[in-house]
Amino acid sequence: MDSILVRGGQRLSGRIPISGAKNACLALMPAALLCDEPLTLTNAPRLSDIRTMTDLLESLGCEVAALQGGRVLVVGAERISNHRADYEIVRKMRASILVLGPMLARDGEAEVSLPGGCAIGARPVDLHLAGLAAMGAELELRDGYVHATAGRGLRGADFTFPTVSVGATENLLMAATLARGTTRLVNAAREPEIVDLARCLRRMGARIEGEGTEVIEIEGVDRLSGATHPVVTDRIELGTYMLAPAIAGGEVELIGGRRELVEAFAERLEAAGVEVADTEAGLRVSRRNGRIQAVDVVTAPHPGFPTDLQAQMMALLTLADGVSHLEERIFENRFMHAPELTRMGARIEVHGGTATVTGVEQLRGAPVMATDLRASVSLILAGLAAEGETRVARVYHLDRGYERVEEKLSACGARIERITERAA
């Protein structure tokens, strides 16, 4: 099993290209199920989660071609030959549930295993099901699967989300494109990935208004067509690499980065004493002298501070001058990285959904273990600033969402390498 070895203490200098967004691509790929013509996605990230979604779509009868080294994905669903999304694939990744809405909308049937993913708390699919039921689907949970039918097709409906859900918004948005009549999604998620999906669907012929706001209106059409669409920049990867020079010192330009993707995060970073500036190619982030200042963070749906950057921000604040408070309002059980950071000398106390971080002057390298995707990279960031060596185990979590992290950081002067242990 691979691990990442980081030797800390090196200031960073250079440029890091930001990949296409994992979470956007994982919603765009199932959109190909809505039509019988190929959907071509450019700027695709090369990640294990993308391979898992490829396996899932191929199991349903799609043809998926990875071109230009995996940067371009061509997904063809001339027909859906199998409407069962099997547990053995779905258990690997929560985004697998996103095939439910498209299959149901196009063919009126779907059987999808309840999904898996990172162990960061309960993330039920009840909102997905409630929205599809409002659109006329008949649903039954049996033997760990969602059995869904819509013999007469889906119909437009008004559906209000009791809480904001990115995945449910994506699923219902796709399903509504082929439903009869108009669908209004109220209290919809506003994330850039939702906007990107809506733009792609519109290229395919969908009629959608309001993406990026709390109300999205979709007028159903009879059929969609193939299209070519560039995957939006990964704002979580962007924020993660913005933290690299902040914690290690130095200056890095992030190619393809845009401030509007991470505005709330950038504001907290600047409040901590980090410089963020626009460039022609992206964003420049630097920290030259002095300690980081303590700041408080509260996670919230977009446009608030992203929960997927909370672990990485905590790594930075372990070295801040003062006491910081991080309040997690999206997922419970998302402070599992805190004990691992404590092994490196951090001072962190967790009470319910709030972590109190008292900054220390120096972290120490240690063997640590990744507990989920974002936790894994938070430990790598901490290792960049730690004295000595940090070895991060279980980095299969990392490979789900970060493309060649060791290559990107080492190009800027970090001493980091992947260690592959051969089976006996």
**What's the rounded Cα separation, in Å, for the pair 95 and 38?**
21
Q: Are 226 and 204 in contact (CB under 8 A)?
A: yes
**What's the rounded Cα separation, in Å, for the pair 179 and 386?**
54
**What's the rounded Cα separation, in Å, for the pair 208 and 225?**
15
Catalytic residues: 118
Structure tokens at 348: 């962190």
**What's the rounded Cα separation, in Å, for the pair 249 and 251?**
7
Query: Could you please report the per-residue DSSP string of 372-396?
Result: SHHHHHHHHHHHHHSBSEEEEE-TH
Q: What angle do CA 195, 198, 203 make, to 5 degrees?
A: 130
> Is 330 labelled a binding residue?
yes
> Is 107 labelled a binding residue?
no
Pairing between β-strand 39-42 and β-strand 275-278 as defined by DSSP bridges: unpaired
**What's the rounded Cα separation, in Å, for the pair 344 and 383?**
9
> Is 123 labelled a binding residue?
yes
**What's the rounded Cα separation, in Å, for the pair 279 and 131?**
42
> Is 22 labelled a binding residue?
yes
Distance, CA of 219 to chain centre? 28
Q: Which spans in 149-226 are helix H?
A: 166-176, 192-203
Query: Could you please report the per-residue DSSP string of 207-241?
Result: EEE-TTSSEEEEE--S----EEEEPPB-HHHHHHH
Q: What is the number of alpha carbons within 13 Å of residue 58 lying toward its C-beta?
A: 13
Helix (H) or strand (E) holding 184: strand 182-186
Numbers of helices and strands, H then E, in the chain: 14, 24
**What's the rounded Cα separation, in Å, for the pair 346 and 353?**
18
Q: What angle do CA 123, 206, 53 make, to 5 degrees?
A: 40
The burial class, CB within 10 Å (0-12 / 13-18 / 19+), for 422 is: exposed
Which residues have a Cβ under 8 Å from the Cβ of 103 and sit 6 or more positions away?
A: 33, 60, 80, 83, 109, 110, 112
| 337 bridge partner residues | none
Binding residues for UDP-N-acetyl-alpha-D-glucosamine: 94, 123-127, 308, 330
Binding residues for phosphoenolpyruvate: 22-23
Binding residues: 22-23, 94, 123-127, 308, 330
